[in-house]
């Protein structure tokens, strides 16, 4: 049973799965914050030794809790487990390859407090060179929008809005807190009440797309998904997946199908269901040989 909720405390939940040394850097950067917080690291059966090193480095810091899973449960289930153990009235889900910036935590809580309608808040997730990463401001990935993105026609959105894809154009101003349909899953903050009201992450997703699903359900519950472009977090993408790109791609394609099946009106049509299913798995089959080769080369380099 979870302890009593602690008002003013932010519970930062980080899921690890052979995430490498960036996990320790991420946790260290978060623990440098002065705002009240706890860090709950949920480990999905890592074997790289980083969890043991993390525990040793912060053995004296009671703000860090480590939960070990005997198997890889997937991202969403691990997040739910961390949330069930967390004590804060606000939950922050953070990727293990993110580098935190001082002051962002308090600023994010201030944004939440400024509007009780906000059920989920995202920030500007940036690549290491400082440029905005993909996925910060997204629309629901309907079939039409996905086709616009895949075909490249979405690049003409500024001239013909009907060609809009999943990715939204850059924000016009960094000052405004804007409503969007989905934000980056690398850094998402929710009031605990909003998270529990929708039942947390859908555990039918193993990895990828569960963040878009979460945003969709927050909105369907009547709350606002908001984006704060002036708040920045650095994300070194894909560190957990470089050694197993085929596994990750398969999970992503399964997630794409689950989302389509749950939310897209086109899924009600048997013909469109068949076309989309074939399209998703044909796309995976085309990419699979290259991904398998990439994984093999990554494994070979790791053993040298």
**CB neighbour list of residue 181: distance below 8 Å, 6 or more residues apart:** 138, 139, 140, 215, 216, 219, 225
Q: In terms of domains, do 225 and 268 share one? A: no
Strand 37-44 relative to strand 178-179, pairing? unpaired
Q: Judge if 253 and 202 occupy the same domain.
A: no
d(C-alpha 137, C-alpha 112), whole Å: 18
Q: Which residues pair with 43 in a beta bridge?
A: 16, 68
298 close to 243: Cβ distance less than 8 angstroms: yes
CB contact at 8 A, 64 and 31: yes
pLDDT (0 to 100) of residue 150? 85
What tokens appear for 63 in the block?
A: 């703000």
Structural domain includes residue 34 = yes
| Residue 181 and residue 295 in one domain | no
Residue 152 inside a domain? The answer is: no
195 and 289 share one domain? no
Domain-embedded: residue 107: yes
Task: Say whether 226 sits in a helix, a strand or coil.
Answer: strand
Asked if the structure places residue 116 within a domain, the reply is yes
88-94/37-44 β-pairing:
unpaired
- Same domain flag for 192 and 267: no
- Last residue within a domain, chosen from 205, 235, 265: 235
* Three-state secondary structure call for residue 197: helix
Tokens encoding 74: 């997937």
Residue where a domain terminates, one of 213, 235, 257: 235
From 187, 208, 235, give the residue that closes a domain.
235
Number of domain units in the chain? 2
Closest CA to 208 of 15, 39, 30: 15
Is there a domain that residue 147 lies in? no
Q: Strand 187-191 relative to strand 118-126: parallel, antiparallel, unpaired?
A: antiparallel
Residue 194: CA count within 13 A, CB half-sphere: 26
> In this structure, are residues 241 and 214 in contact, taking their beta carbons and an 8 Å threshold?
no
Position 303 scores a pLDDT of 46
The confidence score (pLDDT) of residue 239 equals 58
Is 174 in the same domain as 253? no
Q: Which of the residues in the chain have pLDDT under 50?
A: 303
Please indicate, yes or no, whether residues 113 and 256 belong to a single structural domain of this protein: no
Q: Coil, strand, or helix at residue 73?
A: coil
- Kindly report, residue by residue over 202-234, the tens digit of the pLDDT: 999 999 999 999 999 999 999 999 999 999 999
In this structure, the answer to whether residues 221 and 249 fall within a common structural domain is no
Q: Note whether 121 and 188 are same-domain residues.
A: yes
In a domain, 160, yes or no: no
C-alpha–C-alpha distance, residues 241 and 255, integer Å: 16
pLDDT of residue 140: 95
Task: Give domain status of residue 186, yes or no.
Answer: yes
pLDDT at site 230: 94
Q: 296 lies in which domain range?
A: 245-302
The reply to whether 104 falls in a domain is yes
């Amino acid at each position: 049973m979870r302890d009593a909720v602690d008002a003013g405390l932010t519970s930062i939940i980080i899921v690890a799965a052979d995430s490498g040394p960036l996990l320790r850097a991420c946790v260290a950067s978060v623990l440098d914050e002065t705002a009240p917080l706890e860090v709950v690291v949920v480990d999905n059966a890592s074997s790289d030794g980083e969890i043991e090193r993390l525990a040793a480095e912060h053995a004296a810091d009671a703000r860090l809790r480590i939960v070990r899973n005997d198997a890889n449960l997937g991202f969403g289930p691990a997040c739910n487990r961390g949330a069930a153990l967390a004590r804060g009235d606000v939950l922050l889900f953070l990727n293990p390859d993110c580098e935190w910036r001082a002051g962002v935590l308090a600023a994010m809580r201030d944004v939440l407090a400024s509007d009780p309608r906000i059920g989920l808040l995202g920030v500007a997730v940036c690549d290491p060179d400082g440029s905005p990463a993909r996925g910060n401001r997204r629309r629901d990935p309907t079939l039409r929008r996905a086709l616009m993105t895949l075909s490249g026609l979405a690049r003409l959105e500024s001239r013909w809005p009907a060609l809009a894809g999943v990715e939204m154009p850059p924000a016009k101003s960094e000052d405004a807190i804007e409503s969007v349909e989905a934000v980056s899953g690398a850094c998402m903050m929710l009031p605990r009440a909003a998270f529990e009201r929708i039942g947390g992450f859908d555990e039918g997703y193993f990895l990828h797309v569960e963040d878009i699903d979460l945003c969709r359900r927050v909105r369907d519950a009547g709350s606002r998904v908001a984006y704060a472009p002036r708040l920045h977090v650095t994300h070194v993408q894909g560190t957990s997946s470089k050694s197993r790109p085929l596994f990750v791609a398969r999970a992503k394609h399964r997630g794409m199908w689950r989302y389509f099946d749950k939310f897209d009106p086109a899924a009600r049509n048997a013909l469109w269901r068949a076309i989309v299913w074939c399209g998703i798995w044909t796309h995976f089959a085309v990419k699979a040989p290259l991904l398998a080769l990439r994984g093999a080369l990554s494994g070979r380099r790791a053993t040298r």
